[in-house]
A and B are shown apart, each in its own frame.
Chain A
């Protein structure tokens, strides 16, 4: 897709073509497209003179660089101990029921992907979750449903 080629070339123009440009480029792809696919990685490899395997190996290391297709909104609920103690399981259940998908899945309309993540740094206000870059803390099942529903209508 010529589209992707141009997109990556522009990003390389912006961030540079050195190895240390790789993360900023990958991160901006995530911002724009939510995940990197093989075409993106091949084009990054070309621009930065890396092997495609190296780009893949680096991208797959990072939990927030998705290498499989995800939805427009990626919900990441914190599963680390304090959020767990404060009832993350009930939140998960509420969100699963609202979106009619299980953890790790994407809704058929590709709008939402629901995942867990490690400590978000909101332990004093758990349970917490991210939707893309936005934080939601002190969740209750009701509050979580309300938030998800507001995204459904976006």
Chain B
């Protein structure tokens, strides 16, 4: 049992476990202490000082986020001294901050603005330091916009990039009044090791790090009568969009999402789930082919374990950090890019649309997808396969702009063509989901039976543990898969690039052996993606995950290979997984990038 500590906060007694911070203890009493640098996903910094409180008997104020409780402590969170200090600190932050709030992308969603409002800072007391700072805005990245003039140096982004992602594309640099958040040698973001995952955006309290937005471009396309605008929506969007539009975290809004997209004026409302299922067919077949090549043919050039390739943040990470493992990466494009390639080929053909008149938009939980869409590898339709990528947040802005009362929308279904979805595709949005979907299909291909898990739920690969492993024994296989008889297929799942790095290091050094590994760049998988609603926290991501699995269980078809549209596309267009057309449109290869 933990030792219990007694203290008072604002004269109210409270008893908490030893090691609890003053901030946490205050929450138990329903006393809110404002914070800026503090974030549930990150280590304590204690540098913004907004959360200072008075400890009776102490000369200085204490940062409540960083100070553990002690027996008989008397804390005041709202004394005159605390209020004066807090207000001064907010005013100081504002004096260094480009407070062009009405023009700011984060207007209404800025934690500093909220505090300024709460403390009625009013007329600026201090000298405006912004004109003296020669701030720059880095717009070089197709995903992330970095505006130093909005930065309050809380270092949430630095800690995110280091602790969650093990990338450290950003660091604090210089000291004193020159201190700033910087990339290597202040190089433009598109030249450095940034994976475009956008996790820094999810945790930036102000408008210093935001997504590069393409809202106006998409409106222009919609308004243009000569353009046919198709839109696809990623699995994780449907369990998070609601948070931006009045719902509690964990609300499933698939039907309203579809209805809203139609009202916005998209010509075709389609589902990335379709190509998620297609990914399973291609990637599952690729895995089985690789296993056969290695186990039967003894092919030394085929690499195992095979890694999933759905997460563009992960792709850029491996290109930079583990280029020697690139042969292990599945050649499958991500579902977004498979969709893009098919939209301007098969879909255009079927609908009789000239692909040059088509604008392909995707709604993604992800900022790295914006970068992915611009990659030179992603033009196999003869055009840029996906023209614009909007985040969940950008879509919410469009819905608000259009005056749509989202909560009151009647549910609608996706278009009947490239809009069919299975439970297997939906769970792509959660960490472990691609693995689970692949196993559901691959196991059945090999054995002719469903995976031996109750209700198809492969629980060992689910959850929020950073790295998870599972072993599936394959028995009584079909004759053509006899080489797998009795095999124990070892799989691993990791989410968040720090966990991925740990797993990759073990694999590279021969300390861990697997057949198949799923990696998602973001904590929790796509549901915690860099384009998802802000704020994010372990509890919020848990709710979104529960919603994803509920969506899966609620769908009549839960295995990718049973998706009737998948059957149809192989019959009409692709012939077979890994066939000639698939290779042309759905697969690609990646090249090493400089590590630094």
Contact = CB atoms under 8 A, between A and B. Distances in A.
Direct contact of A and B (CB under 8 A): yes
Interface of A: 38, 41-42, 45-46, 50-58, 60-61, 67
A53 B174 contact: no
Interface stretch (B90-98, B165-173, B437-445): B165-173
Interface in B144-188: 162, 167-175, 182-185
Given A38-B185, A56-B185, A45 B596 contact: yes
A145 B36 CA distance: 52
Contacts of B33: none
Contacts of B169: 51, 53
Nearest to A45: B596
Contacts of B175: 61
A75 B184 CA distance: 27
B168 to A, nearest CB: 3
Given A51-B171, A61-B175, A56 B596 contact: no
23 contacts: A41-B184, A42-B596, A45-B596, A51-B162, A51-B167, A51-B169, A51-B596, A52-B184, A52-B192, A52-B193, A53-B169, A53-B171, A53-B183, A54-B162, A55-B184, A56-B171, A56-B173, A57-B171, A57-B182, A58-B171, A61-B174, A61-B175, A67-B185
A51 B184 contact: yes
A67 B167 CA distance: 22
Consensus secondary structure, chain B interface: loop
A39 to B, nearest CB: 10
Contacts of A52: 184-185, 192-193, 596
B595 interface: yes
A51 B168 contact: yes
A67 B184 CA distance: 11
B595 A53 contact: no
A66 to B, nearest CB: 13
Category for how many chain B residues contact A: 10 to 19
Contact of B174 (A41, A45, A54, A60): A60
Going nearest first, the 5 A-B pairs with the smallest beta carbon separation are A57-B171, A51-B168, A52-B596, A52-B184, A53-B171
Residue from B167, B185, B596 having most chain A Cβ neighbours under 10 A = B596
Residue from A53, A56, A58 having most chain B Cβ neighbours under 10 A = A53
Contacts of B193: 51-53
Interface in B175-217: 175, 182-185, 192-193
A55 B169 CA distance: 11
Contacts of B162: 51, 54
Nearest to B174: A60
A51 B182 CA distance: 12
Given A46-B595, A51-B193, A61-B174, A56 B184 contact: yes
A138 B192 CA distance: 48
B277 to A, nearest CB: 37
A38 B184 contact: yes
A60 B184 contact: no
B364 to A, nearest CB: 26
A131 to B, nearest CB: 24
Contacts of A53: 168-171, 182-184, 192-193
Contacts of A41: 184-185
A54 B167 CA distance: 10
B317 to A, nearest CB: 12
A71 B201 CA distance: 40
B173 A57 contact: yes
A50 B173 CA distance: 15
A41 B596 CA distance: 9
Contacts of A58: 171
A60 B178 CA distance: 10
Nearest to B167: A51
Nearest to A37: B185
Interface in B546-596: 595-596
Contacts of B168: 50-51, 53-54
B32 to A, nearest CB: 33
Given A51-B162, A58-B171, 17 more contacts: A38-B184, A42-B596, A45-B596, A46-B596, A51-B168, A51-B193, A51-B596, A52-B192, A53-B170, A53-B171, A53-B182, A54-B168, A54-B171, A56-B173, A56-B185, A60-B173, A60-B182
Contacts of B171: 51, 53-54, 56-58
Contacts of A60: 173-174, 182
Contacts of B167: 51
A103 to B, nearest CB: 17
Residue from A51, A56, A60, A67 having most chain B Cβ neighbours under 10 A = A51
A134 B170 CA distance: 36
Interface in B3-48: none
B182 A56 contact: yes
B183 to A, nearest CB: 6
A56 B182 CA distance: 9
A52 B167 CA distance: 10
Residue from A41, A42, A57 having most chain B Cβ neighbours under 10 A = A57
A61 B173 contact: yes
Contacts of A55: 184
Contacts of B185: 38, 41, 52, 56, 67
A118 to B, nearest CB: 11
Contacts of B184: 38, 41, 51-53, 55-56
A20 B163 CA distance: 19
A47 B167 CA distance: 16
Contacts of A38: 184-185
A50 B595 CA distance: 10
Residue from A41, A56, A58 having most chain B Cβ neighbours under 10 A = A56
Nearest to B194: A53
A49 B146 CA distance: 26
A21 to B, nearest CB: 17
Contacts of B174: 60-61
Residue from A46, A54, A55, A67 having most chain B Cβ neighbours under 10 A = A54
A125 B596 CA distance: 46
A56 B167 CA distance: 14
